[in-house]
Chain A
Amino acid sequence: DAKTTQPNSMESNEEEPVHLPCNHSTISGTDYIHWYRQLPSQGPEYVIHGLTSNVNNRMASLAIAEDRKSSTLILHRATLRDAAVYYCILRASNNAGNMLTFGGGTRLMVKP
């Protein structure tokens, strides 16, 4: 699976939107973009995923660049409970084993 690059950490103020960037310049045409987040001392939880079009769900939005070489996870209104490490992961559609490879992620700090 192709590699992703994320900032090590970001800060946000409570109740403001947060844009978490992810670069994946070597993405292939069949790679899905996944986002997971991990709260302290817990297992990661699925946030959102997409292929080409922007995606929205109850947790977040995923904006995918037209060339698919980057994407942005958008939290529309950050809360203190959103403080976590956010992982951007690519998974090939022909990855029959369905394995996800986690990088270092972005540690999001939310200030009250």
Chain B
Amino acid sequence: DGGITQSPKYLFRKEGQNVTLSCEQNLNHDAMYWYRQDPGQGLRLIYYSQIVNDFQKGDIAEGYSVSREKKESFPLTVTSAQKNPTAFYLCASSIYGGNGYTFGSGTRLTVV
């Protein structure tokens, strides 16, 4: 079955360390997105990519970096510059210009 996979489901990181969250889709979707969700809040857009080798900053890109070397993959790196990285991170994909997003099941990142 086609879908979007995020790994790991839970991640613990020490302060000052970079960490990379994985997002893979086999839906042949052109566009991919990263959102951050804090407890009791809605989703905020971090980065998005419409095609391979191209990506754009969202509303809260500071302290994050991404790459899009393959259509299927859109990894997110949370750098040490992100001051408050503890959150639930959600990856999504869609057909370019299409109406529906498919979301992954999320990665819960905790800084210890």
Contact = CB atoms under 8 A, between A and B. Distances in A.
B49 to A, nearest CB: 10
A101 B92 CA distance: 13
Contacts, number: 53
A19 B44 CA distance: 26
Counting chain B residues whose Cβ lies within 8 A of the other chain, the interface size class is: 20 to 34
Contacts of B48: 97, 99
A9 B33 CA distance: 27
A44 B44 CA distance: 13
Interface stretch (A10-18, A59-67, A74-82, A102-110): A102-110
B50 interface: yes
The binding surface of chain A is classed by DSSP as loop
Nearest to A44: B103
Contact of A91 (B56, B58, B99): B99
A50 to B, nearest CB: 10
Nearest to A34: B99
A43 B97 contact: no
The binding surface of chain B is classed by DSSP as strand
A30 to B, nearest CB: 13
Interface in B15-55: 31, 33, 35, 41-45, 48, 50
Interface residues of A, number: 22
A98 B93 CA distance: 10
A112 to B, nearest CB: 24
A98 B88 CA distance: 22
B96 A98 contact: yes
Contacts of B50: 96-98
Interface in B53-104: 56, 58, 88, 90-92, 94, 96-104
Given A44-B103, A91-B99, A99-B45, 13 more contacts: A36-B101, A41-B106, A42-B105, A42-B106, A43-B91, A44-B43, A46-B102, A97-B48, A98-B97, A100-B101, A101-B45, A102-B43, A104-B41
